[in-house]
């Protein structure tokens, strides 16, 4: 409450000082305080933009520097090989995966026998060139000569729904 009162006490003084400056009625006194004219002349050099050649020779022109193009972390990969992929969907939708999360046939996920959970894998259908990135969240496949089981959503993107399975290339993405 004391602070509030002291703030309000200074408001009229500040308002009067601002009006006096605007009206140009403040004059330099014997105290050495500059008036409005002295203020403008003191800061006039700061209002002028320096010429481009006024920079010291050691200065670097940042507009001339072009940074190297970096590849996104997900583009760095390690080829895991090729094999047959299949998909699983409605029958397993909502059931617990080996990682403990519920299987969602609409998510971009997959089951692999040995890759760590959370690994990101790019799967490319060798027949049509389509590819998707999936997250490993389950174990399998455990029958046949298949190397990976993908969710229905991933299978749709890869074009595997009609055939049920297909030859794919697997790449482990780092990052």
Q: What ranges do the domains of the chain cover?
A: 1-43, 74-173
Specify the pLDDT at position 18: 60
CA distances (Å), origin 133, targets 17, 130, 169: 67, 11, 12
Provide the pairing of β-strand 165-173 with 120-125. Answer: antiparallel
Specify the pLDDT at position 52: 55
Residue 83: name the closest of 161, 171, 147, 163 by CA: 147
Mean pLDDT of the chain: 78
Specify the pLDDT at position 25: 47
DSSP code at position 35: -
Name the stretches of the chain with pLDDT < 50.
1, 25-26, 28-29
- pTM for the model stands at 0.57
Asked if 78 and 122 touch (Cβ cutoff 8 Å), the reply is no
Q: How many other CB atoms are found less than 10 A from the CB of residue 103? A: 21
Asked if 124 and 168 touch (Cβ cutoff 8 Å), the reply is yes
The CATH class for the domain spanning 74-173 reads: mainly beta
Residue 93: name the closest of 82, 83, 105, 101 by CA: 105
Condensed to tens digits (0 to 9), the pLDDT of residues 27-37 reads 544 555 555 66
Look at the block and give the residue holding tokens 């089981």. Answer: 149
Condensed to tens digits (0 to 9), the pLDDT of residues 104-136 reads 999 999 999 999 999 999 999 999 999 999 999
Look at the block and give the residue holding tokens 């002295």. Answer: 38
Specify the pLDDT at position 90: 84
């Amino acid at each position: 409450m004391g602070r509030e009162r002291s703030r309000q006490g200074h408001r009229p003084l500040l308002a009067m000082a601002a009006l006096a400056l605007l009206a140009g009625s403040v004059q330099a006194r014997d105290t050495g305080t500059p008036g409005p004219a002295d203020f403008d002349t003191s800061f006039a050099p700061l209002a002028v933009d320096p010429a481009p050649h006024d920079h010291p020779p050691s200065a670097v022109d940042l507009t001339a520097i072009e940074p190297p193009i970096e590849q996104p972390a997900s583009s760095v990969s390690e080829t895991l090989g090729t094999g047959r992929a299949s998909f699983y969907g409605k029958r397993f939708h909502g059931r617990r995966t080996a990682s403990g999360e519920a299987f969602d046939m609409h998510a971009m996920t997959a089951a692999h026998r040995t890759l760590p959970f959370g690994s990101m894998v790019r799967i490319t259908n060798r027949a049509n060139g389509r590819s998707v990135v999936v997250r490993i969240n389950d174990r399998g496949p455990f029958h046949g000569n298949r190397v990976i089981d993908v969710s229905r959503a991933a299978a749709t993107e890869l074009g595997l729904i009609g055939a049920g399975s297909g030859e794919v290339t697997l790449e482990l993405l780092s990052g």
